[in-house]
Amino acid sequence: MPNTDKRAETTYPINDLLANRWSPRAFADRAIPPDVLGSLFEAARWAPSSRNLQPWRFVIADRHRDPDGFARILSTLMGANKSWGKNASLLLIAVTEPKPENVRGGNTYAYYDVGQAMAHLSIQAMSSGLYIHQMGGFDREKARDLLEIPDQYEPVVSAAIGYLADPSILSDTMRERELAPRSRQPLSEQVFSAKWGQAHPDYV
């Protein structure tokens, strides 16, 4: 594996899978075994969901086993995402169903739940030696058309999945972003005590 240390510098200890999770752009030319891939979607399947509606669905294409399908999903990516996404082992589009026919008033938590499913998938990927880069930069209407997504489903996010490659395969701009340190806002800006904006004494 390339020597790219992107472990999060945390204030408090967290699980290694969470600390080491990041979103690379350099992917190796290596196929994902079907059983390993199946475990990713099994993890997503068991994510929590409001009223157990399980509103997530995934349209996927493996570059090594389905190059035509892979090219269709790749064509929906925007800008630089397409330039490095072409090297991933697998591309996916995650969709959700915000207004299921049998649920009065719709599913308010449909988007939240597909996010939980993707989070479960990403951690399972890390435990399998895989990396995932999720992207908002894709053409949702083009994806709907090319992938024949029914009207009641909404494309939410695209993602590239694969094994890590050396950043040298990337353009200069993308390589610089790949090697840059990870950063997050401090807990003091994200966790409030009892009311909005009031700093929690433990996280100042």
Residue pair 19/8 in contact (Cβ under 8 Å)? The answer is yes
Query: In a 3-state reduction of DSSP, which class is residue 115?
Result: helix
Q: Please report whether residue 73 resides in a domain.
A: yes
Tokens of 84: 């490095």
On average, the pLDDT of the chain sits at 96
Segment 97-106, tens digit of pLDDT: 999 998 999 9
Mean pLDDT for 144-159 is 98
Q: Please report whether residue 204 resides in a domain.
A: no
Q: Please report whether residue 198 resides in a domain.
A: no
Mean pLDDT for 116-131 is 98
Q: Please report whether residue 118 resides in a domain.
A: yes
Distance in Å from the first CA to the final CA of the chain: 38
- Return the half-sphere exposure (C-beta side, CA atoms, 13 A cut-off) of residue 61: 21
**Which CATH number do you get for residue 36?**
3.40.109.10
How far lies 70's CA from each of 50, 82, 132, 191, in Å? 32, 12, 16, 41
Predicted model pTM: 0.94
pLDDT at 163: 98
Residue 1's pLDDT band (cuts 50, 70, 90): low
Mean pLDDT for 86-97 is 98
Q: Please report whether residue 5 resides in a domain.
A: no
Domain boundaries, position 161: 16-180
The percentage of residues in the chain with a pLDDT greater than 70, rounded to a whole number, is: 98
Asked if pLDDT for residue 3 goes beyond 60, the answer is no
Segment 175-186, tens digit of pLDDT: 999 999 999 999
Number of structural domains found in the chain: 1
The amino acid occupying position 151 is D
Mean pLDDT for 106-118 is 97
User: What is the DSSP-derived secondary structure letter of residue 199?
Assistant: B
Give 96's strand partners: 154
Q: Please report whether residue 71 resides in a domain.
A: yes
